[in-house]
Amino acid sequence: MTDNTPQAPAIGRRTVLVATGATATALAVGAALPENSPTSDTAPVAAAAVCTLTREMTEGPYYLDGALVRSDITEGKAGAPLQLTLTVVDDDTCVPLSNALVEIWHCDALGEYSGFVGSNGHSEPDNGTFLRGGVLTDSSGVAKITTIYPGWYRGRCVHIHVKVHTNTALTSDGSFTGGQELHTGQLFFSETVTTAIAKVSPYSTNRVTRTTLAQDSIYDDGGAASGLLTLTALGSSASAGYAGSLTLGVERS
């Protein structure tokens, strides 16, 4: 299974990454980690009011319409907890966007996407919804989503897909419809952290050779400006999981 669709050379919609106050205080993430924490991910950030432009990234072949609007998308999937905090802002003003729907989807620890189970060599129940979903941003532009640390599959580094929509309507079945898609991108993870995660169950049972950030055909080594999350350990071991944060700026017009 691969997800190596070439990136579009032209960028129709601009996206930016903005350093928030919370991010700025975590310039050295290691300082916030437990003393015996095995890993940390430190990434330089810009001043709070500075917007850094970055391009969108491919949607990939595993997107499904009709994702559920919910803050916890795990559906009992085994893996290290991942608590995402994604902030959406207007790229022109850096003002937070409230009521924007932030949608994510990613594979499980063994590299399988819901709706496509079996593509990475495993067989399990597949209802087409695990590790998919989205939430509306609050008045501060913040969307918080609980999931697990993604696994990997042949040809791609560890990543999460993300879309930002505005003016959506919630449906009676818990999904959403309509609106305007402002951003399609991907979120990436520190190799140091991923190496630690790969040693714990169930990730350690994934026998597919892992593609690193440096080897990936999509990630362009642009750091936070290209979707690299700031990660903070939730405990003293990789299995305890991580908190991941990023601020996304979108072009509203």
* Residue 17 predicted with pLDDT over 50: no
pLDDT above 90: residue 154: yes
Pairwise pLDDT comparison (149 vs 2), residue with the higher score: 149
Of 172 and 26, the structure prediction assigns the larger pLDDT to 172
Residue 93: its pLDDT value, please? 83
Position 180 pLDDT exceeds 60:
yes
Residue 232 or residue 117, greater confidence:
232
Among the listed residues 116, 113, 110, 125, the one whose alpha carbon sits nearest the alpha carbon of residue 207: 110
Q: What is the pLDDT of residues 224-235, one digit of tens each?
A: 878 999 999 999
Q: What is the pTM of this model?
A: 0.81
Segments making up each domain of the chain, as ranges: 15-250
**Which of the given ranges, 33-47, 53-67, 99-113, has the highest pLDDT on average?**
99-113
How is residue 25 written in tokens? 């205080």
CATH 2.60.40.10 assigned to 15-250 = no
**CA separation for the pair 148, 145 (Å, rounded):** 10
Given this model, what pLDDT does residue 223 score?
85
pLDDT tens profile 71-83 = 999 999 999 999 9
Mean pLDDT along residues 47-76: 80
